[in-house]
Chain A
Amino acid sequence: MTEPILKITNVDLGYGELKVVFGVSLEVGTHELVGLVGGNGSGKSTILRAISGMIKPWGGQVIFDGQELGVQKPHEIAALGIAHVPMGRQLFANMTVEENISLGAYLPSARKKRAENLARVYSLFPDLINKRKDLAGALSGGQQQMVAIARALMLGPKMLLMDEPSLGLAPLLVKEVMQVIRSVAETGLPILLVEQNVQQVLKISDRAYVLDNGKLVLSGPSPELMGHPMVKKAYLGL
């Protein structure tokens, strides 16, 4: 494998006095869809928050595209080329779908390619074309998730972080969202996908890490993990 686009080494993370992630190391290759799975409160979202600069690492190292992260603010991380589809989508509810998506190309570098990328995301999410003029807050959860992904892609990112995109969606929609994520990955964009829905993630991802109580307990190619007795017992209910 060539040099990974994201390399996390031995990071400790927490809130206030409470440490929630203990010495986690992981990496994402330049064309990989990597899953980061685990139960509620296992610290997966915390890792994404640290990559995006919402919280500062207590220790360890995060290197993205050859550059160390840790002091930058979230908007500076975005400018480095990391797009983050946050938990709960965090759309601009009283703006139209198109305003939401276009604003994804707010940064000057992205603005130049706005029209081009807008056409690209509409071809990826044809359902959104008819909803262009609707307020984002009026859409269904699944459609909002599509808008959130579309908005992130407008940045023209070097890497995509996704935090629980299946949260609150009906099972049928979860499948649809997962297929979309896979097709985005097929374009060559590296993705780090955080999910509680372990089964779905293992189906679409190339590799995955399993996190339990803030510690990595397993990692490997997704098909292998799917057959691993521990994963089967703890997360797949088999």
Chain B
Amino acid sequence: MDILTTIIQNLANGLLIGGVYALIGVGLSLIFGVMRVINFAHGDFVVIGMYSALVIYRQLSLDPYLSLLIALPLGFLLGLVLERIILSPLVDAPEDSTLLATLGLALILQNTLLLIFGAEPNSLYVSYATATIKLGPITLSLIQLIAGAVILVVIIGLYLFLTRSEAGKAVRATAQNRLGAELIGINTLAIHSLVFGFGMVLAIAAGIILIPQLFATPAITGPVFTLKAFVVTVLGGLGNIWGAIGGGLLLGVVEVLGASYISNSYRDAYGLVAFLLVLLLRPEGLFGKTVKRV
């Protein structure tokens, strides 16, 4: 394989894994943008997705991609309920209260999963896990391509919701000015619940997409993905959900290029280096315009 082909192959792999990061980052960014809550449990939501695919597979022998149809609606409800119980009462509290609340939620989720599933790593083997598709000179894995397709559908759906539907506009209005939104009759607390539900759905979708590709452990995988989600949102500009897509793709590419040209052992470190560089040089994010307030 010549050098050019290798680069294209790496870019393609990077974009496919980056799409999953984008999905996670968009949810975190949406929650922050609308609710001003930094969700420390976001990576654990991803793990909930992974384990729900496992459970559905073991109990119902359902393909993980089909289990999305069951897990996403349930995840949405779980997100609504968690928001109502944990975050809703803190809506007017200082920001560090919600920060501690989500940190506490993360601990509870990690240890609950640990209690139920134990500490050993789990993965979900699908018969087509090693299948590949040749596209000209490059080869792509089938499960990553399916992942890419699911991500595209979810992101386009979210975009249409936020820009076309009345409820979506209410979400944007709440993010931009909560008081202004409330005064025109938008129930902003209900919008918060809705948004937290969406964040959960995006994270669970990411978890289900990932579980055929990696091994998950309750208390370790969650924090790793929380960290990745932070990197993605900072790369894209905090609260800028379209920036988070770019941030996710970039993180994926940086990781794959680093792993392939420098060393695979530092895979998780490359993203953090990019994160620090962006914080130093362009703290508003790569795609962020400074947020304007009226």
Contacts and interface: CB of A to CB of B under 8 A. Distances in A.
Given A86-B179, A137-B294, A92 B173 contact: yes
B183 A84 contact: yes
Contacts of B184: 78, 83, 103-104, 106-107, 151-152, 154-155
A197 B180 CA distance: 23
Contacts of A110: 185
A91 B177 contact: yes
Interface stretch (A28-36, A93-101, A123-131, A183-191): A93-101
Given A90-B294, A93-B292, A106-B170, A75 B185 contact: yes
A173 B186 CA distance: 30
A142 to B, nearest CB: 13
Nearest to B182: A74
A144 interface: yes
Contacts of B179: 54, 74, 86, 90
Chain B interface size range: 20 to 34
B188 interface: yes
B292 A74 contact: no
A95 B176 CA distance: 9
B293 interface: yes
A155 to B, nearest CB: 6
Given A86-B179, A86-B183, A92-B176, A99 B293 contact: no
A78 B185 contact: yes
A159 to B, nearest CB: 13
B185 A92 contact: no
Nearest to B170: A106
Contacts of B267: none
B180 A90 contact: yes
Given A151-B184, A155-B184, A88 B294 contact: yes
Contacts of A89: 180, 294
Interface string A57-74: 000000000000000011
A122 B170 CA distance: 22
B241 to A, nearest CB: 12
Interface in B149-186: 166, 169-170, 172-173, 176-177, 179-186
B132 interface: no
Contact of B182 (A73, A91, A111, A137): A73
Contacts of B294: 88-93, 136-137, 144
A178 interface: no
Contact of A86 (B180, B186, B189): B180
A94 B292 contact: yes
B178 to A, nearest CB: 9
B111 interface: no
A75 B177 contact: no
Interface in B188-213: 188-189
A174 interface: no
Nearest to B292: A137
Contacts of A144: 294
Interface string B271-294: 000000000000000000000111
Contact of A52 (B181, B183, B189): B183
Nearest to B163: A99
A114 to B, nearest CB: 10
A154 B294 CA distance: 20
Nearest to A78: B185
A167 interface: no
B115 to A, nearest CB: 39
B139 interface: no
A92 B182 CA distance: 12
B169 A103 contact: yes
Contact of B176 (A86, A94, A151, A154): A94
A95 B173 contact: yes
14 contacts: A52-B183, A54-B179, A75-B182, A83-B184, A90-B177, A92-B176, A92-B180, A94-B176, A95-B172, A106-B186, A107-B184, A111-B166, A137-B294, A144-B294
Interface of A: 52, 54, 73-75, 78-79, 83-84, 86, 88-95, 99, 103-104, 106-107, 110-111, 135-137, 144, 151-152, 154-155
Given A74-B182, A106-B184, 15 more contacts: A52-B183, A73-B189, A79-B185, A86-B180, A86-B183, A89-B180, A89-B294, A92-B177, A92-B181, A93-B177, A95-B173, A103-B169, A104-B184, A151-B184, A154-B184
